[in-house]
Amino acid sequence: MTIDRRHFIGGTLALGAAACIPPDQSPIGRLEAELRLIEGKSGGTLGVSLFNTVSGMTVGINADRRFGHASSFKFSLAALLLLRHAQGRIDADRRVMWTEADMLSHAPFTRERIATGATLRELARATQTTSDNPAANILLRQLGGPAGLTAFWRSIGDTVSRVDRFEPEMNIVPSSEFRDTTTPAAMARTVATIVYGDVLPAAERAELRQWMVETETGARRVRAGLPKGWVAGDKTGTSGLIGGTEYNYIDIGFAEGSEGEPPITFACYLRARQTEDEMLAAAEQVLAEVGRVIKEFAEPEKALPVIGKLY
């Protein structure tokens, strides 16, 4: 059988075009396709959920797959302390002490204050803004341990997220692990509930929000892809540094554009096999690309011509 060369080339081009065009041609469908393209270039598995806090609309990929928290759980831990303080169940301004036995790697605040101690509020701010590991463990013990934080999530409607261990063991979360995990869909909604809901009184909510904006570790992740002038805050996580071969790069938070645009919360998880030294810069770039999708998600009516350039 002889194949006409023109028919062969035409058919091949048609198949190639069909492979690039997402079956769902709606703005949301194209946003999902764009996230898939980002995942394809990432060298790993990307889990993303973006949540419109006004309409309740979501977009994401692998949004119901479980990923480890790494240090991103510290956002909820800080929220829990502020809630307990507002309820009169704990004094956030009570000073506590710790010893050398409590120290772990990455302790920029607790190492400096080991001789003087700090208030629980100071520890909460440090674990949120600098991701100080001993500060997180000290707080977690004060607030009922892993079970106490998991119970907090359940109390605000998050039936998925869980913490089972302390730092640093909680970072050992291969893809088969169930402990110390969440899903992008669950966490994007939890961030929305805490930052924009009535879980916290207004003063505590504003304090936590400011800590998120001041967080040092998120400047090169999702926030790096947002337009100038946007207000955003987040909590990052990086794990896999002890045991195993899987590494996780995480960013959860909120983003607010110009007046009239709805606030968006996000939860992003990238699982890769490369080591941190090999992958950190590339992972940050992947998460920054998600930041660019957030702007399009906040303006769905403008997304279609923008994303159309990719196909």
Catalogue the active-site residues: 71, 167
Q: What distance in Å separates the CA atoms of residue 44 and residue 33, rounded to the nearest whole number?
A: 16
Query: DSSP alpha helices (H): ranges in the chain?
Result: 5-20, 27-42, 73-86, 120-129, 133-142, 145-155, 184-196, 202-214, 276-298, 300-307
Listing DSSP states for 229-283 in one string gives: T-EEEEEEEEE-SSSSS-EEEEEEEEEE-STTSPPEEEEEEEEESS-HHHHHHHH
Taking CB atoms within 8 Å and a gap of at least 24, the contacts of 199-208 are 199/79, 199/83, 199/156, 200/79, 200/82, 200/83, 200/86, 201/86, 203/86, 204/82, 204/83, 204/85, 204/86, 207/82, 208/78, 208/79, 208/82, 208/128
Comparing C-alpha atoms, which of 262, 261, 208, 256 is closest to residue 235? 208
Distance CA 206, CA 235 (A): 16
**Would you say 194 and 156 are in contact if contact means Cβ atoms under 8 Å apart?**
yes
